Structure 1
Amino acid sequence: MSAAPAPAQAHDDWPDNYRAPAAWWAVAVTMIFQIVSMIDRQVVSVLIPEMRADLGLNDFQISMVQGMAFALFYGAMGLIIGALVDRHSRQKIMFTGIVLWSIAAAATGFARNYVQLFVARLFVGFGEGAISPAAQSLLSGIFPRGKLATPMSCFTAAGVIGISLSYALGGLLLDRFTVAPLGGVLEGMAPWRQVLVVTGAPGVAVALLAFTLREPKRAGTPPPQRHEASWGSFFGYIRANARLMLGVILGSALVAMMTQAAMSWTPTYARRVLGVSAGEVGTIMSLAVGLGGVIGGIALGLVIDHWFRRGVHDIALRLLAIAALTVPPLIALCFLADDATILFGGITLMMLTMGAIFGPTLAAVQMIAPPAMRGRFGALVVLASNLFGFAFGPMLVGAITDYGFGDPNKIGVSVAIVLVLVCPFAAWLIWNARGDFVRRLAAVPAHSPSNEVCS
């Protein structure tokens, strides 16, 4: 049975200063920003052996630089920047964030000790924290509700493209600079340092694309009062809609937790237990993640927009709950099958479903967020997904393996346990939020002013 429809879509139109070509140009620009962001964030992972030897680092220090510390700082700063997004020009915030992280990413190549490396990476996280909340807020202010899931899926798919490019570009440049190092101001620098400077510095030029974007404007809609965008109002809205917030934000974070628990340990499981070579793992994972995330994400966005326009306004939550309940047990069986083909097939399925639903989830949150709080709600989803996905998920699998089984070869069983235990709770939270989502959707105007105080 379809959910009760939201109000008629007479207001389902473009802003006064936007039409379809300009709207999709905004999608293309935010996708470019997301790709550059992921390259600068992930390219470090290709350079770890050289970086570790040059700076004399241990595995824990490396994990802090690219793992927990980065994810938490990125998420926490994103929430603070989200408040700025709610009050100021998203165009200028994105420009400033890109310039900051690009300079910080290039400065990473000049780090002479762990402290300098750590601080540079913190500023990379600080700058990158601007893109997601600003892009989500901008796109939700441009696209009508019935067309929002597709552009948001394109934005998140760009992150998958960026991750795939970071592996390929990092390896290619490292090999190139090892054979033929660059001269000029970079002469004499270690190849891994040159890679970081070359991949980081161009972002300053890319940032100029922010000035090709426009703040969406609608006639006859004055900007909200400052108290409407206060932190007190923000947390009050969460308390007043607790079941909805838990279902959409915590539920999607638990889906991210299951996804990353499987993704982060798949290479180790494949090499340690199944005997797959490192080269094969890298190639297959790149294909599974890239093809599954991009094709699945965009296709799912189109499907959700289609059914939303037909009146099934909770379609994103329905599909997310169904995926959370049915896919993890299948992936768990793949980790117990002791077969590499089945394993990588399962990872591809997971990216086509659970990994692809994040864009429509972001769109759903933006639909129900009061316009003066869109930036912070976008950042909150990213913070929750980073915390559960990149921190708790992999950590829980490792804890079960080390302290539960005491056997490193049981890593596949540990992943299966996490998937089976978490999936029903995630599905229950999301499914129970559907009614509240539809009611909230009806209460929030489809296109209210979102604090466009700057042009």
Structure 2
Amino acid sequence: MTDIAAAQPDPDRAASPVYRPHYSDEAWPAARQAYHVAWVLAAVQMCAQLNNGVMTLLVEPIKRDLQLTDMEMSYLLGFSVSLFYVLIGIPAARLVDRHNRKHLLAVSVFLWSLASAACGLAQNFWQFFAARFGIGAGESISGPLSYSLMADYFPPEKLPRAIAIYNVGFQGGTALSLLLGAVMIHLLSGMPAIHLPLLGAVREWQVVWVVTGLMGIPILLLVATIVEPKRRGFSAAAVVGMQPRKVGLRETLRYLLAHWRLYGPMFLGLCFTAMHMFGTAAWSAAFYARTYGWAPASTGLYTGLLSLVLAVPALFGAVWLNDHFRNRGHPDANMRVLAIGFTASAPFMIAAPLMPSPWLALGMGGIGTALMLMAAPSLNSALQVVTPNEIRGQITALYLFTMTAVGGGLGPTYFAFLTQYVWGDEALLRYAIATSAAISFPLAAVTYWAGVKPYRRRILEMRADGAPL
């Protein structure tokens, strides 16, 4: 059956101007060095997630002190960060495909740490918006270069493990941001405003932001310990018919369009889920406060602990499941695990906000998130494996832009719209969340299942061309 499938013509392949991929046959970096880099990148991602997690806990005090509406707050939660991706983030990702990624990573961490501290000095909406824009400036290039580094440190069969480690940083950062945020909010609760020259009053939630920014200093020291690896994989020049250093955004977009059957399900499915997940994350503290009367500190403590408990088994369960399908001869293991994860998580994500108690809501949401997390390493691995090296950073940036622009940019505002204009009452936020989940997750599951066949066909073709898959 494999030979028959490999022999079938691929319309995506026929649409490509030239398809003579060349794969590097040099030895991969030592496993110890590779895993060290994966854990450093996880720590970087953990630091980045502190910004987002802390922001969700501080929605109500920021809204109160800056006298903002739900819609204005939604712009600070999502649109302000994603705006940088629209203006500069994607073109800047070209640097990932051309320059030293270690140095770029250090600049990225420095920028978002400085911007995080600046959030603590904001006195009005526009100052806060500018600082959040700076966070987006720093974070926009971090994801593309992290995935690019891992793809050059790990062979394809081990890449899901590296990305699982990286996602531990993502989930760990989210959990720690909730826990640390809860602790800091509790310790600083009732603290009188500090009046500084030129800056005016600095409140307790602003001190939390300054501390968050300072956490970037030890991360910069970790980044200094990694080494830039040799780039490997198949050449973009062989695929798009140009010299590698001349492959820019136009050629990258042309490649994506020529292979829309392969990439389309990955990008479209991400749109559906990102909008819901970013919206949920942004309004989680408000949801528990409005629905169950929990204080932000309590929400941060319980959701943070739950994330820590579930993240590691979920992510490494994904690695086991991926290996299981790979060992059983499924070349589409990455996309198959992705589709299974989102299909299984859908009913739990829909039911969670409708539960009669906060504990049941936490439990249902935790199970749904854990099942969804099982898909995360597979999705990112699938994207890296089938993408040419010289455009890997740019395609990853477009992918993360989709997640940030659609999810981060529209998700919080989408939830505010559902709450304010569809359900007509801020107290009915729970129904806005359930409505979004009932739309997003079934659509995402169907989309990912539609992507299994073209992904399997591409993997078989790459094997026929000599790829070590």
What TM-score comes out, normalization by structure 1 length?
0.82
Change (3 A) 1:410 1:36: closer
Which residues of 2 match residues 18-417 of structure 1 at below 5 A? Answer: 18-47=29-58, 60-74=71-85, 77-173=88-184, 176=187, 191-217=204-230, 225-226=243-244, 229-261=247-279, 267-274=285-292, 280-308=298-326, 310-406=328-424, 411-417=429-435
Question: What residue in structure 2 maps to residue 452 of structure 1?
Answer: none
Q: Any gaps of 5 or more consecutive residues in structure 1?
A: 449-455
Change (3 A) 1:424 1:349: same
* Post-superposition offset of 1:284: 3.0
1:68-95 deviation line (CA, Å, top 9, x unaligned): 2213425764423321101111111101
Contact 2:28 2:153 in 1 (8 A): no
* Post-superposition offset of 1:281: 3.8
* Post-superposition offset of 1:30: 0.4
Contact 2:178 2:303 in 1 (8 A): no
How many pairs align? 444
Change (3 A) 1:41 1:420: closer
Secondary structure of 1:322's aligned partner: helix
Contact 1:72 1:386 in 2 (8 A): no
1:26-73 deviation line (CA, Å, top 9, x unaligned): 001101111111224443444556656666666554433332221342
Question: What residue in structure 1 maps to residue 240 of structure 2?
Answer: none
1:232-274 deviation line (CA, Å, top 9, x unaligned): 2211111111122211121133233344455555555554445
* Post-superposition offset of 1:447: 10
Secondary structure of 2:230's aligned partner: coil
Distance of 2:204 and 2:291 partners within structure 1: 34
Distance of 2:413 and 2:207 partners within structure 1: 33
Distance of 1:54 and 1:334 partners within structure 2: 30
* Post-superposition offset of 1:437: 1.2
More displaced, 217-226 or 381-390? 217-226
Contact 1:150 1:360 in 2 (8 A): no
Return the letter of the residue paired with 1:157. V
* Post-superposition offset of 1:22: 0.1
Distance of 1:447 and 1:117 partners within structure 2: 52
Distance of 2:185 and 2:426 partners within structure 1: 32
Return the letter of the residue paired with 1:361. L
| Aligned Cα root-mean-square deviation (Å) | 4.0
Contact 2:331 2:460 in 1 (8 A): no
Identity of aligned residues (%): 27
1:255-309 deviation line (CA, Å, top 9, x unaligned): 3334445555555555444556655544332233333333312321343145335
More displaced, 37-46 or 93-102? 37-46
Change (3 A) 1:102 1:163: same
Distance of 1:195 and 1:149 partners within structure 2: 34
Contact 1:75 1:379 in 2 (8 A): no
Contact 2:57 2:285 in 1 (8 A): no
